[in-house]
Structure formats: C-alpha cells, structure tokens
Structure 1
C-alpha cells in the first residue's frame, strides 16, 4: 500500500531515505508493469501525492532509471510528460547449456535481446564446456556493444541440479565431467558476472509461464524431452523445486526394461526413439529428428517408433497427473516439439492409463524455453541490483 506523505514527514532521516526508496521503487514497478505514464497518472495509480511523485521521478531520472518517453496532450489541460523505465540502465545474461546446443543472450532491463548466439556444443569434457560457455558469453557481450560492467547478473540453465553447498552440478549424466567441483566458480570468475545455476527443465517451465502458454495456469508441468528427460512445475506462478531442488527429476523413475530395469529417462528421450526405430528395422546413421521426419513420410518402422514413444510419454503424463493434478501439461524439448505426431498416441494412451485429465499442449517456445526462463530469472535479480546500485546514497 502507498505510504502517506504525513507519515513521511514524521519519519527520522534514515527512515525518510528508506521511504523515498520505497516510493521510487513503487513508481518504477508501476511503469515497468503498465507502461509509460504521466505524473498525474502515477499519482492516481499509486495514491501518492503529486509532489511526492514529482520528487521521486526526479530522483529516478537523475539515477538513470527512468527517462522521458514522449508527451500526452489531453483534450483539456496541459500537455503531460510521459515517463518510462530506461531499459539501458543495466543488462542481464541468460545461458542454456544443452547436450547438443549452447544458447546465450544478453538482454536489457525490458527483456529486449541486445545480442545472442546459438552454437553447437561439441565439448566432451567439463573444462572444454566451461571454456565454450565463457568464450561464447564474452563474444555475445562484445557483440551487444554493452559495457561488460553493466551486465549485472546471469542465470545458467543446465541438466542436473546445482548443489550450492558442494559447489557443483549433480545428476548431469549427459554432460561428461560436468559434476566437477569448481566449474561454476571458474565461470563466475572468468566472466566477472554473478551467476545463478538452475535446472534446465525448471527454467523452461518459468520461460513457458512468462512468455508461453503457461501464463494464467494455476498449476502446470513442463516436460522436457530431449537427450534426457526432466520436468519443471509451476504453481500459482512460483516454481516448485522440492526440499532439495530435485522435484521434477522424473527421469530417475524406474522403468521395466527389456533386459533389466531402466530409468524412465532411458525409455523417454531422443536416444530411446532412435533405439526403437533400429529395433523396428530402420538403419543407417539415425537421429530422433530423422526418425520423426521419416514417420511424417509414412515409413512404417519410424511410425512404430513414434507410436511407442507416444505411449511412453503418456506414462510420464499419467505419473505427473497422479502426483500433481496439473491443469496443463506442456511438452517441450527436441522430442516434445514433434507433438503433431505424438499428440494422438499420447492422449489415447494417457486416457487408457488414468482417469485424471490434464490438457496436453506443445510448447510454442521451441528450443528457446530454457534460455527464456534463464533470461526471465536473471532479470528479476538484475532489476533489483540496478535499483540498489543507482539509488544508493541518494
């Protein structure tokens, strides 16, 4: 709630500084959420007096946090100056580390991409992968024309779960050596940017909630199906990670293999699609994409492999429905993006497996879901950091 000007006058000096900061943040958030506005409109929206709004805007403008963004000429009265946040007050870094691709972006405080790079991940050792991340991020910052000192926060998405106490990534089975202690610290030091590390499926879920079909969902699950299998869960707009950050690691669920018990990840992934296709008679150098493309052309072996993959995904959806009761299940990742082929077998088998019903849709974000989640998460912190830095001592 807005704080009254009467209370402001009664506060001690240090409290008055804190109150001014609160009012400034209130106005900045209003401008960021609802767009450019005049002083009069801001006063109406926040309940602050016009003099308080004018003073706070002057401080924000002097700090480089807001700028004039045009004028508004009403039918009656004076022309009003419009104010908006200055997106160039700071920048954030988003990184998506995948088994096949590395994606990096630098964005301003509005979330507009200043520069981006998507490069093949051919690293086969942790040191080489760390070099690739650092080198690509530096190049992206250079290409953006942004002063590196203005990049105030970064978020990295990776398979596995980052253990802050042990300072290493755990359970990143598809990235050889990525669990070594000190790898993340090394990237932080060489980039000179504070880095958070989060599970890729969790970030994809946040990206889907912020920019995709998850917006407005009460509880939804994002199932990431690519070289591995993971799930992110967002409830009431907040990520659910469990007691140890491992919620959604459905790839570790047991699965009855042909020779011996397997993990669900071994059955529901791009690798599993290729293995099934070979078992049904396809040959040559195969990828999951090649199998799906062949199924579209009517290849019977590929079609059987896709049908089997749909059945296995249905088991994953049924497990999520039983535990979480989501109103929405989003399928993403390299395999999940082939929902046009998978939708029928997934829905048919899911109906046979469980009476629980969740809407199943493809991710509209494609391969960008993790990166967008990383960007959205980095921006939350970057905006706070920039505000504190630029208003310190005012």
Structure 2
C-alpha cells in the first residue's frame, strides 16, 4: 500500500491512517521486530508515515520498542514489535470426560491453562463449570480480564444459531437445551462463538500440527463418537447448516442390524468387537489396544477390524472430498501405530483414491488449540478495531 495519495475528506484520511497502522501491525506480528527504515522499505510507506503510524500504535499499546539494531554504519535503529499482551483469546474444549481451557496472548502463546475432569451431572452444572474454570484460567494469566477480546467453544454436535442450542450432541445428555451458551456468555462477559469439536480439531492440526500446508485435508475424530473436520485452503468447510463432516450419521451395512458408521467405528465398537472375539472383564478401547500391543489374539482381531472399518470411512471421505491428507485423531486415533497397516491394506482393496494417512500431532489438545486459533483471529481484529475507533 502506498501513502502517495491522500484524500481530502477527513473520514478518508482517518481510514488511510487506520489502513497504514494495520499494515504495519500485521507486518510486525507476522514477521517479527523491525526498524522504521525496514518497515518503510517493505511496505512502501514513507518514513514520516511509518513514524506517525508507529507512534499511534505505541500510544494505543499495540506495539512497543523491542531493542535496538546497530548497523555497520549510521545511527542505531530502534526495533519495534507487536505487543502480545495488548489482548487475549480464550479457547474452550468441552468433552464428555474432560474440560480444557486456555488463554493465549495475541502472538498465540498459551499463557494460562487448566484441564479438569467433567464431573457435572446436568447441562446447567456443566455450563457453570465452564464459566468458573475459565474465570480461574483468565485470572491465572496475569493479564487484565477486560483484555480478553474473544472466546471460542468446541463442543460435540452442531450449534444452531437461530435456536441458540446444540444439536446432535448424543454423548452429552441435556446439552441440547436452549440458552446454555447464552448463560456462558453472560457469565464470562466475553463475546463467545461455538463450533463443532472435530472442526476445531482440524483447524488446530492445520495451524499447529501436521496439516500445515495441506491444500485440503480431513481430520477424523474417533473416540466416544465419530466426527470429521474439513479444512480447505486454510478455511473450515462447514456446509450450509454447519453439519458438514457429521460422517458418523452415514449408514453402516456391515452388520446384521442397521447401524451408523459411528456405531461401527467409535471406541465403543472396539470394545464390542473385542468381546465378540472372546475378551472378558471391564474393557475400554485403550485396554483393547494395550492388549493388542502385547499380542492377545482377541484384541489383535478387534483392532484389525477397527482398522478395516476406518478404511471404509476414509474411502467415503476420499470419494466426496478428494483430500491430499487424512489425519486420524481422537482417543482411537492415538493408536495409529496399530491401525495404520490394516487401514492402508483395506483402503487399497476398496478404492483407487488413497490419500496420505497420518496420526495427529496435537493429540488431546487438537480441539483446544483449534479453539484458541479461531478465537485469536477474531481477538486480533477486535483489539485493533478498538484502537481504530477510539
């Protein structure tokens, strides 16, 4: 952007100043500290314009001096950097067993976090637990609570903005009640948006994990349920009503009785298969995978069957989306070391469409970090807009 032409109208002059400041702030945030001269060279703005814009940003607390640079010749140059403490973003991951909450500064650095067991017996108690835990996390960040600019919640199901409630959250009883998220917004006093957990996990892996640089990838969340998040060119694809990726609702024909794909692939399906092959006792999916690692025949068979069923899931996603990458995540996805071979072998027999399949890098933090990344994008806009309209 160039400042060579300045319009006569005061509003346009203000708009130009704001655009110049935003240009410099984005440059500092994305590429690190720089001097006035360096900023002028890289942006095409004049040195006086850069000086004026930096002064305004510094007065607003958005940038600060970050040291000096001593060149071989000439005067020592002051380096400027975006101030990460100018605002904060709040990420919240609500699961059936765990609640994970983190506060990040504007550089995306997590400055405070808490993981607590979700022992709430009602949906109202769960909403109150979210608010109380988030307040403690914000207090532990050391920043001003008023500086938290935006919050994002990841939850199973699909949030209906018109009805103000979550739909299809089968594993969180009562979570479909209207008004629960309004209750959280009021308790937190922060603008709050709600997204499907698998979608946020996909965005988390794209931003911080194995999905970086992928043109189009699908994240399969396999745990208590089955979900899929799709990221195309760095953006979530959610469909017309937010239901894109609810792959668990697909019918599953590989059983004598009608079932969904979620019934066939989730962690509970692993336990059910293990029992059918002869395992006894109190079983969990983790226990079955651990037994398979030790070579127990029934567990090995159950895990192989799970891999074959996951391959059908990948085949369906590949046929519809043509992803270059499929990431396996969630509780079952943590055992990709056992699953990858049967998934790939079965996929070769099912379809010529064979995307690369890898385990997620973020593990149980995928949803939380996706919520942080999403909240951070809006928080940066909000913090700057507050300054621009002040």
TM-score w.r.t. the length of structure 1 is: 0.97
Note the C-alpha offset of 1:290: 1.0
Q: Does 1:187 align with 2:205?
A: no
Distance 1:77 1:268 in 2: 66
Q: What RMSD in Å do the two structures reach over aligned CA positions?
A: 1.0
Unaligned runs of 5+ in 2: none
Aligned counterpart, 2:141: 144
Q: Does 1:289 align with 2:283?
A: no
Distance 1:138 1:290 in 2: 36
From 29, 49, 67, give the equivalent of 2:64.
67
From 357, 360, 366, give the equivalent of 1:360.
357
8 Å CA contact 1:63, 1:391 repeated in 2: no
Q: Does 1:176 align with 2:173?
A: yes
Q: Does 1:239 align with 2:239?
A: no
SS at 1:111 equivalent: coil
SS at 2:34 equivalent: coil
8 Å CA contact 1:124, 1:175 repeated in 2: no
Give the ranges of 4+ consecutive aligned residues of structure 1 lying more than 3 Å apart after TM superposition.
Answer: none
Note the C-alpha offset of 1:259: 4.4
Unaligned runs of 5+ in 1: none
Distance 1:333 1:51 in 2: 53
Note the C-alpha offset of 1:275: 1.1
SS at 1:360 equivalent: strand
Distance 2:280 2:96 in 1: 24
SS at 1:272 equivalent: helix
Aligned counterpart, 2:85: 88
Distance 1:353 1:11 in 2: 66
- CA shift digits 1:78-99 (9 cap, x unpaired): 1111111101101110001112
Distance 1:231 1:177 in 2: 23
8 Å CA contact 1:111, 1:379 repeated in 2: yes
Note the C-alpha offset of 1:207: 0.7
8 Å CA contact 2:106, 2:376 repeated in 1: yes
Note the C-alpha offset of 1:130: 0.8
Distance 1:268 1:128 in 2: 30
User: Aligned residues, how many?
Assistant: 390
Which stretch shows the higher mean deviation, 120-129 or 248-257? 120-129
Note the C-alpha offset of 1:147: 2.0
From 364, 385, 390, give the equivalent of 1:388.
385
Distance 1:239 1:128 in 2: 31
Aligned counterpart, 1:166: 163
Note the C-alpha offset of 1:257: 5.6
